[in-house]
Amino acid sequence: MPELPEVETTRRGVEPYAAGQTVQKLVVRNASLRWPVPAALPRLLRGQKIEAVERRAKYLLFRTPTGTVIIHLGMSGSLRVLAADDPPAKHDHIDIVLESGRCLRYNDPRRFGCCLWLPDGESHALLEGLGPEPLGPSFDGALLFRKSRRRKGPVKQFIMDGKIVVGVGNIYANEALYLAGIRPDRAAGRISLARYERLAMHIKQVLTSAIEQGGTTLRDFVGGDGKPGYFAQQLYVYGREGEPCKQCGRMLKKSTLGQRTTVYCVACQR
């Protein structure tokens, strides 16, 4: 599943081609995504100027004077910049055709993503109640410590809760906890402020590093320029169960937390 770095990589990939462009038309080949593409969206978007391309959590936001197109890549989606006359391939469900002759083409084999419309001045349930951005100034160890008090659930699920902090998906939660030396199954409420400060620092570090390197290489992910990311080469624990820990040499263990694969080192993480 594309995580925050993959979505940010896509945003940076498409922004130079989309920002400032007027939408010539919207082509919807298959409206049956996780939520149906609104039937009125082609009419609402036609002739609108894309003023900005933003990201909130894992949502891409295309701002126009009258509203915002909300795109989520789901489990297998990608958004690429192509010539508008390029023949569509299988699973190419939506084209945002721009006056430049290019299009933003949304491909989603599993159709778990979405393309929705948010009228200007209104709010959307998908964006309400979200926690702070992990790379923003309001996210730090003190926030994690404060929100974790009396929580008995595992710290890994705690930092993956979008109401606590957005965009810390499974891969990067594994990595940040390893670097912070914290066992993923430790109760969130039993972790000290100092350890949360270290964890927050490493969450920022792994996400920043992944963004700089173009996102994690996932089978289904394709960046805005059609190139996959390369951060997977530097993963410490995710996908490495049964292999030696890069710090101590002991075999990494695998477990399941919240139905998600969790890999950790019993010696380096406490």
Structure tokens at 55: 């990201």
Structure tokens at 69: 């197109």
| Enzyme catalytic residues | 2-3, 58, 260
- CB of 257 within 8 A of CB of 184? yes
Tell me: is residue 91 an annotated ligand-binding position. Answer: yes
> Which of left, alpha, beta for 259 (phi over 0: left; psi -120 to 50: alpha)?
left
- CB of 70 within 8 A of CB of 116? yes
Report the distance separating Cα 5 and Cα 67, nearest Å: 25
Report the distance separating Cα 75 and Cα 33, nearest Å: 12
Burial class, 25, CB count within 10 angstroms (exposed 0-12 / middle 13-18 / buried 19+): middle
Report the distance separating Cα 136 and Cα 167, nearest Å: 12
Tell me: is residue 151 an annotated ligand-binding position. Answer: yes
Residues annotated within the binding site for DNA are 91, 110, 151
Residues annotated within the binding site are 91, 110, 151
